[in-house]
Amino acid sequence: MTPTREAFQITGLAGKRTLSGEIPVRGAKNDALKAIPASFLFSDTLTIENIPHIADISAMANLVKGLGGIVEENDRTMRITTTHADGKELPVEIAKRMRASVVSVGPVLARFGHVSFPHPGGCVIGARPIDLFLKSFEKMGATYEVDDKFYHIKATNGKLRGADIFLDIASVGVTETVMMAAVLAEGTTTIRNAAMEPEIQNLASFFVECGAQITGIGTPTLTITGGELLKTNGQAYQVIPDRIEAGSFAILAALAGTEITITGCNLEHLRALLSAFDTAGVRYEKHTNALTVYGADNYTAVNIKTHEYPGFATDLQAPMAILLTQAEGESLVFETMFEGRLHFTDDLVKMGADITMFDPHRVMIRSKKQLVGRELESPDLRAGLAFVIAGIIATKTSRIRNIHHIDRGYEKIEERFRALGVQIERVAD
C-alpha cells in the first residue's frame, strides 16, 4: 500500500486499568477478501454484506475491477458482477502488494482457463512462497511458465480437472483457491490436509447454498465435484465477524480495562484464545455474540504455540505477547507458521520487556515489566496493532509509525479505541 505518512500518537496508561465500555467487531478481513474474487464463480451478481472499510478490501475490489468485474459499493454492502469479465492478468501493482491476491488465481484460472500474475506481496512475515499453489494447479491439469515478471498458468484445453490433492501444509490460501478452482473444474477434487479456518467454512457453505457440491466442510478433507457457474438467486454472502479483531480487543481489555464488552463476535471462533485466558487467569463472561472481559492485576504465564485453526491463531500471537509481558512467570511463545513474525519483540525489549529470542520461531517472555513508551515502526498488520496495545499500557507517549499496515486490516481503530477511553490520535508523520 502507498504509505499514508500518518502515525498514531498514544498517551500510555502507565499500567493503570481505566478503559471501559463496548467495542464492536467488524466483518472479517480474511473472509471478505476471499468472497470478492469468489464472484468469478457466479453467473449472477454476488452481493456481499458486512464488508469492513479497510484498505485491503478496496485493493481486492480494484483487483476484480481490473479483471473486468463490475463492483458497486454501498456502505458495508458490495455487489459484484463478473458476467462480462474476461481479464486473465491480475493488476500488477495490486497483486504485488497483497498476498491475498493469489487466492483470486483459482477462480480466474477455472473460469477463463488462463491467468498471469506477479509474485504476490503482502506483509513481510516470512518467505511466503507459492509452491503449493502451483503444485495443486498442476495436479488439476494446468501447466505454468515463469518469466522475469509473471507466472503464467494455463489449464489444458482451457478446463481444469478434478484431482486428489494432499497439501503438504494446511495452507489457508491454497485450500481456498483450490476449492474455488474445483467448483468449476471437471470431475471431483479431494483436498486432503485442508485448512479448516472459519472463513473457509463460511465460503464453502455459501457455495453449497448456491449449487456447489462440497462435502467435508470444517474437516481436513474437502471433496468438491465441479460443475457450472454458481447462482446466488439473490442470496447474499454474510462476512463473519473478525475473530482476530475480537481476540485483540479482548487482550486489550484484559490489560487495560475494568470491564469491556466486545460486541458482534462469534465466541466459537475464539476457543483457543479463551483457553489461554483460562490459564492466564483472565476473567470473562460469554454472551450470545459478545464477550465481556474484566481486567485484573495479576496474570500467570502461558505457553503459546501457534497452529492452524482451531489452534491458537498466528494472527493473535503478537497481541498475546503483549499480555504475556504483563504475566508472572515465564511464557514460551512458539510461532510455528511464519519465521518473521517474532521480530517485533526486539522493540518490546526496547520498551523494557524481558524477552529472549532462542531462534526466529521461539521467544521466552519473562515476568511482568512496565513498558515504557517510545517511537515504533509498525512492521506488519498484526504486530502493528500489538504496538498500539503496548503503547496503551506503557508509560509516557508512544508514536506508532507506518500505520498504513494497521489501516490495511482494522477499520478506524483509533475511533473505536477512543470510545473505550484510549488517548490515541492519528497525526501527520
Rounded to whole angstroms, the Cα distance separating 70 from 7 reads 34
Number of chain residues interacting with ligand EPU (CB under 6 A): 26
Give the nearest distance from C-beta 351 to ligand EPU in angstroms.
Answer: 22
Segment 310 to 329, residues that bind ligand EPU, using CB under 6 A: 314-315
Q: Could you tell me if 220 and 196 are in contact, meaning their C-beta atoms sit under 8 angstroms apart?
A: yes
Segment 118 to 157, residues that bind ligand EPU, using CB under 6 A: 123, 126-133
What is the grid cell recorded at 247? 481476540
CA atoms within 13 A on the CB side of 344: 30
Binding of ligand EPU at residue 38 (CB under 6 A)? no
Q: Which is nearer to ligand EPU, 132 or 184 (CB)?
A: 132
Binding of ligand EPU at residue 26 (CB under 6 A)? no
Q: Beta strands 19-24 and 257-263: pairing type?
A: parallel
Q: With contacts defined by CB under 6 A, name the span among 148-156, 168-176, 228-236, 389-397 that binds ligand EPU.
A: 168-176
Rounded to whole angstroms, the Cα distance separating 334 from 336 reads 6
Q: 79's torsion region: left (phi>0), alpha (psi -120 to 50) or beta?
A: beta
CA distance readout (Å), 163 to 219, 343, 429: 18, 39, 51
Q: Which one of the listed residues 123, 153, 254, 388 is annotated catalytic?
A: 123
Q: Which is nearer to ligand EPU, 56 or 347 (CB)?
A: 56
Q: Which is nearer to ligand EPU, 76 or 135 (CB)?
A: 135
Rounded to whole angstroms, the Cα distance separating 337 from 360 reads 11
Give the nearest distance from C-beta 410 to ligand EPU in angstroms.
Answer: 10
- Verify whether residue 123 is a known catalytic residue: yes
Rounded to whole angstroms, the Cα distance separating 425 from 315 reads 24
> Given candidates 174, 282, 291, 406, which one binds ligand EPU under the rule CB under 6 A?
174
Binding of ligand EPU at residue 243 (CB under 6 A)? no
Q: Which is nearer to ligand EPU, 112 or 133 (CB)?
A: 133
Q: Which is nearer to ligand EPU, 127 or 428 (CB)?
A: 127
- Beta carbons within 8 Å of 198's beta carbon, 6+ residues apart: 28, 31, 240, 243, 266, 268, 269, 309
Which sequence positions are flagged as catalytic?
123
Binding site for ligand EPU (CB under 6 A): 30, 33, 99-100, 123, 126-133, 169, 171-174, 195, 314-315, 337-338, 381-382, 409
